[in-house]
Amino acid sequence: MLKNYFKIAIAVLKRRKFFTFISLFGISFTLTVLMVLTAFIDKVGNSNYPDKKRDRCLYILNLEQRGTKNGAVTRGPHSFYFLDHFAKSIKTPEKVAISSMFDFSSAYVNNKKISINIKYTNADYWDVLDYDFTEGKPFNKVQVDNAERVAVISEDTRKAYFGDLPSVVGKYIEADNIKYRVSGVVKNVPITQMTMYGDMYLPYTVSKNDYKSRDFNGNYSGILLAKSADDVPKMQKEYDQMVKRIPYKSKEFDHLYSHADTYFISLVRTLFGNGDDSGITTVVIGLGIFALLFMLLPTINLVNINTTRIMERSSEIGVRKAFGASSKTLVYQFIVENIILTLLGGVIGIILSVIVMQVINHANLIANLSLSLNYTVLFFSLIACLVFGLLSGVYPAWRMSRLNVVNALKA
Look up residue 297 and give its amino acid: L
Q: State the average pLDDT over residues 148-154.
A: 97
Residue with the bigger pLDDT between 277 and 98: it is: 98
- pLDDT at position 84 is 95
Euclidean distance between CA atoms 192 and 312, whole angstroms: 51
Look up residue 396 and give its amino acid: P
E-strand spans in 132-283? 133-136, 150-154, 172-175, 178-186, 200-203, 220-225, 255-258
Euclidean distance between CA atoms 297 and 30, whole angstroms: 10
- pLDDT at position 16 is 65
In contact, 41 and 32? CB cutoff 8 Å: no
In contact, 236 and 223? CB cutoff 8 Å: no
Residue with the bigger pLDDT between 122 and 19: it is: 122
Measure the CA angle with vertex 193, ends 138 and 150; round to 5°: 25
Q: How confident is the model at residue 402 (pLDDT cuts 50, 70, 90)?
A: low
pTM for the complete prediction?
Answer: 0.77
- pLDDT at position 97 is 97
Taking 3-state DSSP, the helix, strand and coil percentages for the chain, each rounded to the nearest 5, stand at 50, 20, 30
For 24-38, 39-53, 143-157, 377-391, which range has the lowest pLDDT when averaged over its residues? 377-391
Strand partners, 221: 99
- Whole-angstrom CA distances from 313 to 16, 86, 307, 330, 391 are 12, 73, 10, 12, 20
Euclidean distance between CA atoms 48 and 43, whole angstroms: 9
Helices (H), 133-262: 141-145, 155-162, 232-245
The radius of gyration of the chain's CA atoms, rounded to the nearest angstrom, is 29
Mean per-residue pLDDT over the chain, rounded = 83
Q: State the average pLDDT over residues 376-396.
A: 71
- Whole-angstrom CA distances from 355 to 32, 38, 385 are 10, 15, 19
Residue with the bigger pLDDT between 134 and 103: it is: 134
Residue with the bigger pLDDT between 112 and 10: it is: 112
For 31-40, 181-190, 199-208, 346-355, which range has the lowest pLDDT when averaged over its residues? 31-40
Residue with the bigger pLDDT between 50 and 347: it is: 50
Q: Give me the phi and psi of 192, to 5 degrees please.
A: -70, -20
**For the chain, what's the residue count?**
411
% the chain with pLDDT above 90: 40
- Angle of helix 327-363 relative to helix 375-401, nearest 10 degrees? 150
- pLDDT at position 188 is 92
For 4-13, 28-37, 118-127, 256-265, which range has the lowest pLDDT when averaged over its residues? 4-13
pLDDT (tens digit, 9 = 90+) per residue, 26-40? Answer: 778 877 887 888 777
Euclidean distance between CA atoms 343 and 223, whole angstroms: 44
Residue with the bigger pLDDT between 252 and 85: it is: 85
- pLDDT at position 37 is 80
Q: State the average pLDDT over residues 116-145.
A: 96
Q: How confident is the model at residue 400 (pLDDT cuts 50, 70, 90)?
A: low
Q: How confident is the model at residue 137 (pLDDT cuts 50, 70, 90)?
A: very high
Q: Residue 407: is its pLDDT beyond 60?
A: no
E-strand spans in 228-333? 255-258
Displacement of CA 340 from its chain's centroid (Å): 31
